[in-house]
With several copies, the nearest count.
Chain A
Amino acid sequence: MNTDDILNAIMAVDQALAAHEAEIESLDRAIGDGDHYINISRGSQVAVAMRGELAALSPDAALQKLAMKLLSTIGGASGPLVASFFMGMGKAIKEHNSSLADVAAAFAAGVEAIRARGKADLGEKTMLDVLIPVSRCFTELTAAGAEPRLIFKELKQVAEQGMLSTRDLVATKGRAAFLGDRAIGHIDAGAKSSQVMVSAVCDLALQT
């Protein structure tokens, strides 16, 4: 992986989020406060606008720079979480030419940074219900030397399952936690946006 891949992924994520605007927005309206799409797309738009600046940087520096910008742009609960993800990933990634296994390790470091920041874990009806299973699967499949196309197809499925799994959960973190049982039956907005982003990056990888 190189900086170009990051820039392409930014474009893909921004477009994919825009295509799911109504869905993400209505999920956060149902059991949150309705702004998750606005927050996350504010982030993806600023990332798109930064592509020129980032192009000159190495992947680790680019991810760190992106993280700081997202931290000051997104706000809300997702701001520090998304920023922590890229900070964690930026610290872990190699300076150049990371292998798929390197990327999986960096992804895992990013997810770990979200866990540390949000003090949440699997099963709390958050974005982690997508990201933790995706990260585990990514690590396992790369460790097992699986074929890249198979890995990305698999990750998309795992993301989808994780997203759907939040429907039946009671939330114990985030705004939906205020609802108790009333949150059951609704998919978590952050889980949905995470699944959309994971899918978009996998599709990109599958195209090339």
Chain B
Amino acid sequence: MKKFINKVNDVLVESLSGFAMAHQDIVQLHLDPHFVVRANKASNKVALISGGGSGHEPLHAGFVGYGMLDAACPGHVFTSPSPDQMLAAAEAVDAGKGVLFIVKNYAGDVMNFEMAAEMLSVPNATVLTSDDVAVENSTWTSGRRGVAGTVIVEKVVGSLAETGADLAACKALGDKVNQRTGSMGVALTSCTVPAAGRATFDIGDNELEMGVGIHGEPGRRREAMRPADAIVADLVAAILHDLKPAAGAEVLLMVNGFAATPLMELYLLYHSAEKLLKAQGLIVSRSLVGNYTTALDMAGASITLCLLDDEIKQHWDSPVHTAGLRRGC
């Protein structure tokens, strides 16, 4: 393992501290318990709080700021944060209109946020994101994973919350966006958890993992490396199979890097995916390409599609000012 770190146990606090120093105009960091809030507390709006294991940067702390989150609770690497973090964050950012938790659907995150929600005295609700189509939903499992589509949920609900909408409306929009969003990822290399010191999984020089999770969880299948167009065709087919868009539907196309894949390749994937979607009669009217929901140092990428409607478009296009996403202000 070769990483820019000092002591394994200091990685999280040093990295969060650097993040807060570099973006002191946008965020403020609290330690023990760890959470990140906006530099300027918002008033008269539903407070949006997300969080999860670290290692997915810029998710979630990178999306704290005007137009997106009010607070983020970073856990240890790939480990859900604990309820004391959510409680302290909620106390800091509650502005009298309640708290909406945005939680990626993993057992650990769900249970920790659930316990925080139970202990919290302020009105609150939770949106669970579960956009990863690699794992089929079924009644007897805990359901699909939340991955890069979470960024879209945070952006869109974040925008609605700035308008002063109430808790129920924010939750409803979050659930709607989640239902209209599907993602699937592919890994070319494993990631390495600093504390573990070695690769999470082994993968051959000519192999890829189709449907991989953002923690390096195995996906649908291991297969031989193929041209980008063939990989994209499989990812897009799996997502469309799940979302079943109407003919001529308008979509947001996101190509998300897992951290070690260069922008040059991400744009090449975008080109391949947009061509394919157009050929299938879909209208790609919004895009996002870059490293937004990463998997430590994994080489790989995911494709996310979100079925747009006027409400989602309006809130996608609105101004946002965070470390990880900024437009219009």
Interface, chain A (partner B; CB < 8 A): 25, 29, 31-35, 38-39, 42, 71-81, 83, 117-118, 172-175, 177-180, 182
Q: A29-B200, A71-B115, A77-B107 are in contact. Are A39 and B83 (CB under 8 A)?
A: no
Decide: B217 and A75 in contact? CB cutoff 8 A. no
Complex formed: what's the CA distance from A180 to B142 in Å?
A: 12
Q: A33-B217, A79-B112 are in contact. Are A174 and B82 (CB under 8 A)?
A: no
B residues 282-305 near A (Cβ < 8 Å) are none
Stretch binding the partner chain, chosen from B72-80, B178-186, B256-264, B270-278: B72-80
- Within 8 Å of chain A (Cβ to Cβ): is B67? no
Decide: A77 and B196 in contact? CB cutoff 8 A. no
B residues 106-129 near A (Cβ < 8 Å) are 106-108, 111-112, 114-115
- Within 8 Å of chain A (Cβ to Cβ): is B62? no
Q: A71-B83, A178-B217, A182-B218 are in contact. Are A76 and B75 (CB under 8 A)?
A: yes
Residue in chain A with minimal CB distance to B143: A177
Knowing that A42-B76, A77-B111 are A-B contacts, what are 17 other residue pairs whose CB atoms are under 8 Å apart, sorted by A's residue number?
A31-B218, A33-B200, A34-B193, A35-B77, A35-B79, A35-B196, A38-B76, A39-B76, A75-B75, A76-B75, A77-B80, A77-B107, A80-B111, A83-B115, A173-B142, A177-B141, A178-B134
- Interface residue tally on B, bucketed by range: 35 or more
Decide: A81 and B75 in contact? CB cutoff 8 A. no
Q: A33-B215, A173-B107, A179-B218 are in contact. Are A75 and B81 (CB under 8 A)?
A: yes
Complex formed: what's the CA distance from A80 to B141 in Å?
A: 19
- Of A29, A74, A76, A172, the contact of B201 (CB 8 Å cutoff): A29
When distances are taken between beta carbons in the complex, the residues of chain B under 8 Å from A25 are 196
B residues 133-158 near A (Cβ < 8 Å) are 134-135, 140-142, 145
Decide: B140 and A172 in contact? CB cutoff 8 A. yes
Complex formed: what's the CA distance from A25 to B140 in Å?
A: 27
B residues 80-100 near A (Cβ < 8 Å) are 80-85
Closest chain A CB from B289 CB (angstroms): 26
Closest chain B CB from A180 CB (angstroms): 8
15 contacts between A and B (CB under 8 A): A34-B196, A38-B76, A39-B79, A71-B83, A75-B82, A76-B80, A77-B106, A77-B111, A78-B108, A80-B111, A80-B115, A173-B141, A177-B141, A178-B218, A179-B218
Decide: A35 and B78 in contact? CB cutoff 8 A. yes
- Within 8 Å of chain A (Cβ to Cβ): is B33? yes
Closest chain B CB from A94 CB (angstroms): 26
